Structure 1
Amino acid sequence: MIRFEDVTITYAEQPVLANISVEIPEGELCLVVGRTGSGKSTFLRAINGLVPHFSGGTLAGRVLVDGRDTSRFPPRELADVVGFVGQDPVAGFVADNVEDELAYSMESLGLPGDVMRKRVEETLDLLGLAQLRDRPLATLSGGQQQRVAIGAALTAHPRVLVLDEPTSALDPGAAEDVLAAVQRLVHDLGMTVVIAEHRLERVAQYADRALLLPAGEIGDVGEVLAAAPVAPPVVRLAQVAGWSPVPVSVRDARRHAASLRERLPEPATRNPAVAVPVLAARDVVVKYGDVQAVRGVSFSVGAGERVALMGRNGSGKSSLLWAVQGSGKRTSGTVSAGNTDPKSLKPAERRKTVALVPQQPSDLLYLETVAEECGQADAETGQPAGTCRKLLEGLASVPQDAHPRDLSEGQRLALVLAVMLTGTPDVLLLDEPTRGLDYPAKEALAKVLKNLGSAIVLATHDVEFVAEYATRVVVMAEGDVVADGPAREVVTSSPVFAPQVSKILGPWLTVADVEAAL
C-alpha cells in the first residue's frame, strides 16, 4: 500500500531523511519512532504529498501510495486514499463547529447527503463526540479538538490513515478509546495506519511493526524498541530484568513479572516535607457563558513543590492555570503569589512571579531565528548571554539559525520552555509540557525542573512523566478537585492514571526505582 524507494528528503542542503526504503502493506498498523527532530513528521507528510508540494525542499527517490507517485499527485488528489492528521489539529480546521468539520472532507469529495449524515453519526459515536456535535471548535479543549481532527479524517473513509502525535493532547482514557477505534479500523476494515507518537506506552501494543528513524529500520515492535534510543517503560523494564522476548504490553510483561517481584523489597515510603506556600488560590470560579469550567477550587503550592494537575479532557485544568496566572478569565475567587495577585502585575513582572507555558507554545514566539529568541529571553530577564541557549541544549537538539515556525512541535515546546525558564520564576505553570517530547527529552526536562527550586504546577495527561517527576497529584473532574495527595498514593490507586511499572509491579512507579532496588 505504501512504498518508499530510496527516498532522501532535503531542506536547505541538509537531509532530513536519507536513503529510506520501506514497504508498509495494506491492513497494517505501523508505528514510527525516533528522537525529536529525527524526521518522523517529514516521513508522514511525504505519504500524502505535503512533502514536497507544500513544505518545499527536495525529494529524491519515489513514494508510492496505492500505486500513485506522490511527487506527481498533490494532496488534494490523494484525499480519497490518504487521511492525514497533523500535530496541530487547530491548523487543519476549516469549519466553525464540530458537525460541520466532520462533514467538510465528504463535501469536498462530493458524497451524497444521506451518506454524509450516516458517516457523521458513526464517527461521533466512535470517538465519543456526540455531546459536542453543536459546539464551536474554538470552545473545545485541546484533547477534544484532537479527537475532532481525527474524526474529520475518518469520515472520508480513506484507505490509509496517517496520524502525527494523535494522543499527545488526550487523557489516558480518551487515548485508549481513540486507539481502540483505530485498531478496529485496521482489523475490521483493513485500513493501513501509520502513527508517529512519543508516548509509546500508549501505542506500542497496537502496532504490527515499528519503523525507526532516521535509520529506516523496520521490524518487530519489541525488537525495534529495544534497540531504539526511545522506548516505553515496559521495554526498559524488560531490559533491566533481562526478559526475552521483549514485551510491549503490560499484559505480556505481567507473565514475566513474578520472579522479579520476589527479588524486590518493599519500596520506601517518603513523607513529603511541608513547604511554605508561595501560591494560594481560594474559591476560584471560571465561567464561559453558561459553562462553569472551574467550580470554586482552592489549593496552595509550596516552595519547591512539583504538582501535577490531572483529569480528563475538559475537566478545567487549563482554565484553572490561566485563572491562577492572571492572564486568563477569573469570574470570582482570589489568588496570591508572594502576597500579590498576579492579575494586578504588568506582563514582565508577572512572568518573573508566575510564568505560564501554554498548550500552543508557538503563541509566544515572534522572532526570526532560535538564536534571536534565546538572546531576547536573556536580555528581558537580565541573565548572562547564553543562559537560554544552555537550557535549550539540555532539552532538545534545535538549530540556532532555524526559524521557530519551521521547528517540530517538540522542538518549539523545548524552545518556549527554555525562554520561560530563563527568568527563574517563583512559580512556573506548564500546560501539557511534555507534548511532542521524546523520553530522553522528558528526562532532561525533569532534571531541569527539579533543579530550579521554583514551585511548579503542570497540567498533563502524561502519567509516566508524573511518576518520574511529581511530588503531588491533584485530579480534577467537571471543574472540581476530586483527589489531592502524594503522587504515589494518588496514581497507584487509579487504574486510569497508573504508570506502566505500577501496573506490572504494584507499588513501584518507575524503571529507575526498580533498577536502583535491584
Structure 2
Amino acid sequence: MIELDRVSVTFDGATKPTLRDVSLRIDEGELVLVIGRTGSGKSTLLGTMTGHVPHFTGGTLAGHVRVHGRDTREHRPRDLADLVGVVGQDPLAGFVTDTVEEELAYGMEQLGLSASTMRKRVEETLDVLGIADLRGAALRDLSGGQQQRVAIGSVLTAHPKVIVLDEPTSALDPTGAEDVLATITRLVHDLAVTVVVAEHRIERVLQYADTVIHVGVDGVVSQGDPADVMINADVAPPVVELGRWAGWSPLPLAVRDARRHAVAWRTLPVAPRTETPGDGPVLVAAKDVVIQHDAVLAVVGVDLSLRGGEITALMGRNGAGKSSLLWGLQGSGPLRSGSVHVSGSGRPEVDVHRLDAAQRRRHVGLVPQSASDLLYLDTVGAECHQADRESDRPLGTCRSLLDDLAPGIPDDRHPRDLSEGQRLAVVLAVQLTADPPVLLLDEPTRGLDYSGKAALRRALHDLTARGRCVVVSTHDVEFVAETADRVVVMAAGELVADGPTARVVVSSPAFAPQVAKITAPQPWLTVDDVRYAVEGGS
C-alpha cells in the first residue's frame, strides 16, 4: 500500500538529511503509529507519504515513495487526492465551509463527482462516523472531538485508501480523544482503510497500533511490532516506562495488560510519596468573574485564588471555558463583571483589567493555544535576542531555556519553518525569559515529546521555587500527574472541582493518568511514586 525505498530528505540549507535512507512498507488495513522526539522528522515522513514533501516543502528527496503503485516523484499531492486523505492538527483551520454537510461534500466537488454520488457518500459517512445528528450544525459550534471527526469525514467521502493524521488528539480532552480513536479503529477494522498517525501522546494510541514507526533524531527510521519497538524507543508512555522498570515481559502497551502484572502492588501497605502544596501568598484573586462572548456565557461567576509557589492545572472538556478564564485572568479577556487582582515580586496589588498591554506583561505572562502568533521576527536567534533585551535579562537567557525545551534548533531557522512543538518551545522560552510573577499557559504540551515535557516541568518548578504562580490549562493528564500541585476542573463555565492533584484526578475515570489506573486503588500518579513505594521509600 505504502512503500518507501531508500528515501532520504534534505531541505535547502540543511547540513544533513532530516530523513536518512528510509525503507519501510505499510500494508492495507493497518493502523500505524509514528513516534519520535520533537523535531525528529515525523511530519516530514508523513509528508513524503502524501506527496507534500518535496512538492510543497522544497528540498531534495532521494529514493522512491510509492502509494498504491503511484510514485510521488511523478504524482503531486493533487494526483494522490483520490488515494490519500490528510487531516492536520487543527481541523477548524482546515475547514472551508460553514456546516458539517457542506464540509463533507466539498472534497467530492473538487473531484468532480456527480450530485447523486456525493449525496450517497455524505449519508454513508455520517453513519460511519456517528454524526448524522450534526449534519446541519455549524462547524464552529462543534466540540473539538466532533470537529476532528468531521475533518476525518471530509477526507473519507473521497474513499481514500490511506488516511494520514498529524497529532489528531493533541487538542482534545480525554473523552473526545477516545471518540476520535474509536472512529479511527473502526475505519481500519471495518473498512480496511490504512491509517498513519503521528502522535506525541503515545499513551492514547499505542494500544490500538498494528505497527510502530520510530523516527530517530539522527534521521534513522525503524519499523516493527509495537512491543518490540517500544523496548528501546527514546519516547515512551508511563505504561511502557513502568514495564521497563519492572522487567515485565511481554512489555505491556495497555492499562489492562499492565494491571495483570501489578496485582501484588495494589495491596502494598506503603503510603505514597506526596508533595505538600505551597502555602505562599495569594498572587491572583479572581472574584465573581463573568466572561461572555456574544450570547455565550463562557465563564460564570468564578471565584479563584492562586498562590505563589504552586502549579495549578486547569482541566475540563473542550468548551468548558478554560481558555476564556485564562484570558480573563491575564486581563485581555472581555470581562463582563467581577474583578481580577494580581500582586507579587514586590509590586502593589493591581486590577489587571485596568492596565495597558505593556503593564500587564510585567504582571502576567500568557502563552495562548496559537502560540506561534506571538512570533514575528525572521529567525529563532532574533526572537531570543529580542526576548532577552525586552526582559532586561543577560544575553543567552532565552536561548538557554530553549535548548532545555527543544535542543538543536538553529539560530538562523525561521520560526515558521519549525515543527509545531519547536515553535511552541520558542514561545515558551520567550515567555519564561520575562519571568513575571504569574504565568498562564494554554495547552503548552501540544507538540512536545516526553523529554520536552520534562524540560517544561523543570522550568515551571524552577519558577514556583522562586515564588512564582503557574496555571496550566491542559488535557494532558500525564503531564498534570507529574507536574501539578493542584487541579481545578471546569464544566459549562463553572468550577466543579478544586483540590490537590491526587485527590482530584484519581477519583476521575476521565482525568486519571495511566499509573493511577494500573495501580488503583493505590493513590499513585507516576512511575516514580510506584518506585518509591515498591522499594520501601528508598
| TM-score bin (small chain) | over 0.9
CA distance in structure 1 between the partners assigned to 2:182 and 2:190 by the alignment: 12
| Runs of 4+ that moved beyond 6 A | none
Once the two structures are superposed, the pairs formed by residues 175-324 of structure 1 within 5 Å of their partners are 175-214=177-216, 215-261=220-266, 265-324=270-329
User: Given the superposition, is the C-alpha separation of residues 297 and 133 from structure 1 closer, same or farther in structure 2, using an over 3 Å criterion?
Assistant: farther
Q: Which residue of 2 aligns with 1:514?
A: 530
CA distance in structure 2 between the partners assigned to 1:100 and 1:386 by the alignment: 50
User: Given the superposition, is the C-alpha separation of residues 273 and 60 from structure 1 closer, same or farther in structure 2, using an over 3 Å criterion?
Assistant: closer
Decide whether the 8 Å contact of 1:226 with 1:236 is kept in 2. Answer: no
Aligned to 2:490, what secondary structure does the other structure show? strand
CA deviations on 1:109-162 (whole Å, 9 max, x unpaired) are 223334434544555566565676555555666665444433322232211010
Q: TM-score, normalised by structure 2?
A: 0.92
Instruction: Give % identity.
Output: 61
Once the two structures are superposed, the pairs formed by residues 416-455 of structure 1 within 5 Å of their partners are 416-453=427-464, 454-455=468-469
CA distance in structure 2 between the partners assigned to 1:150 and 1:281 by the alignment: 40
Over the aligned positions, Cα root-mean-square deviation in angstroms equals 1.9
Once the two structures are superposed, the pairs formed by residues 112-131 of structure 1 within 5 Å of their partners are 112-121=114-123, 123-124=125-126
The farther-off stretch of 94-103 and 388-397 is 94-103
Q: Give the unaligned 5+ runs of structure 1.
A: none
CA distance in structure 2 between the partners assigned to 1:195 and 1:154 by the alignment: 15
User: Given the superposition, is the C-alpha separation of residues 72 and 117 from structure 1 closer, same or farther in structure 2, using an over 3 Å criterion?
Assistant: same
Q: Which residue of 2 aligns with 1:404?
A: 415
Q: Which residue of 2 aligns with 1:378?
A: 388
CA distance in structure 2 between the partners assigned to 1:99 and 1:34 by the alignment: 36
Aligned to 1:231, what secondary structure does the other structure show? coil
Q: Which residue of 2 aligns with 1:35?
A: 37
User: Given the superposition, is the C-alpha separation of residues 129 and 449 from structure 1 closer, same or farther in structure 2, using an over 3 Å criterion?
Assistant: farther
Q: CA deviation at 1:288?
A: 2.0
CA deviations on 1:236-273 (whole Å, 9 max, x unpaired) are 00011110010100011111111344567231455534
Decide whether the 8 Å contact of 2:145 with 2:180 is kept in 1. Answer: no
In structure 2, give the amino acid aligned to 1:303: G
Aligned to 2:411, what secondary structure does the other structure show? coil
CA deviations on 1:194-220 (whole Å, 9 max, x unpaired) are 111000000000000101113311111
Q: CA deviation at 1:479?
A: 1.3
In structure 2, give the amino acid aligned to 1:513: D
CA distance in structure 1 between the partners assigned to 2:245 and 2:57 by the alignment: 42
CA distance in structure 2 between the partners assigned to 1:382 and 1:357 by the alignment: 20
**1:22 and 2:17 correspond:** no
Decide whether the 8 Å contact of 1:146 with 1:169 is kept in 2. Answer: no
CA distance in structure 1 between the partners assigned to 2:419 and 2:429 by the alignment: 15
Q: CA deviation at 1:320?
A: 1.1
Aligned to 1:433, what secondary structure does the other structure show? coil
Aligned residue among 150, 153, 156 for 2:152: 150
Decide whether the 8 Å contact of 1:282 with 1:297 is kept in 2. Answer: yes
CA distance in structure 1 between the partners assigned to 2:412 and 2:451 by the alignment: 23
Q: CA deviation at 1:234?
A: 0.2
Q: Which residue of 1 aligns with 2:502?
A: 488
Q: CA deviation at 1:55?
A: 0.6
Decide whether the 8 Å contact of 1:233 with 1:511 is kept in 2. Answer: yes
Q: CA deviation at 1:434?
A: 0.3
Decide whether the 8 Å contact of 2:288 with 2:339 is kept in 1. Answer: yes
Decide whether the 8 Å contact of 1:3 with 1:65 is kept in 2. Answer: yes
CA distance in structure 2 between the partners assigned to 1:309 and 1:129 by the alignment: 29
CA distance in structure 1 between the partners assigned to 2:450 and 2:155 by the alignment: 28
The farther-off stretch of 504-513 and 403-412 is 504-513
Aligned residue among 339, 364, 370 for 1:334: 339
The farther-off stretch of 326-335 and 313-322 is 326-335
User: Given the superposition, is the C-alpha separation of residues 384 and 302 from structure 1 closer, same or farther in structure 2, using an over 3 Å criterion?
Assistant: same
User: Given the superposition, is the C-alpha separation of residues 469 and 269 from structure 1 closer, same or farther in structure 2, using an over 3 Å criterion?
Assistant: closer
Decide whether the 8 Å contact of 1:389 with 1:418 is kept in 2. Answer: yes
Once the two structures are superposed, the pairs formed by residues 72-111 of structure 1 within 5 Å of their partners are 72-111=74-113
Decide whether the 8 Å contact of 1:127 with 1:177 is kept in 2. Answer: no
In structure 2, give the amino acid aligned to 1:444: A
Q: CA deviation at 1:290?
A: 2.1
Aligned to 1:340, what secondary structure does the other structure show? strand
The farther-off stretch of 129-138 and 348-357 is 129-138
Q: CA deviation at 1:77?
A: 1.2
CA distance in structure 1 between the partners assigned to 2:473 and 2:121 by the alignment: 34
CA distance in structure 2 between the partners assigned to 1:497 and 1:91 by the alignment: 27
CA distance in structure 2 between the partners assigned to 1:144 and 1:181 by the alignment: 11
User: Given the superposition, is the C-alpha separation of residues 323 and 240 from structure 1 closer, same or farther in structure 2, using an over 3 Å criterion?
Assistant: same
In structure 1, give the amino acid aligned to 2:531: E
CA distance in structure 1 between the partners assigned to 2:296 and 2:427 by the alignment: 31
Decide whether the 8 Å contact of 1:7 with 1:63 is kept in 2. Answer: yes
Aligned to 2:262, what secondary structure does the other structure show? helix
CA distance in structure 2 between the partners assigned to 1:145 and 1:402 by the alignment: 32
CA distance in structure 1 between the partners assigned to 2:132 and 2:367 by the alignment: 31
Q: Which residue of 2 aligns with 1:11?
A: 11
Aligned residue among 332, 341, 360 for 1:350: 360
Q: CA deviation at 1:27?
A: 0.6
CA distance in structure 2 between the partners assigned to 1:156 and 1:384 by the alignment: 55
Q: TM-score, normalised by structure 1?
A: 0.96
Q: Give the unaligned 5+ runs of structure 2.
A: 344-348
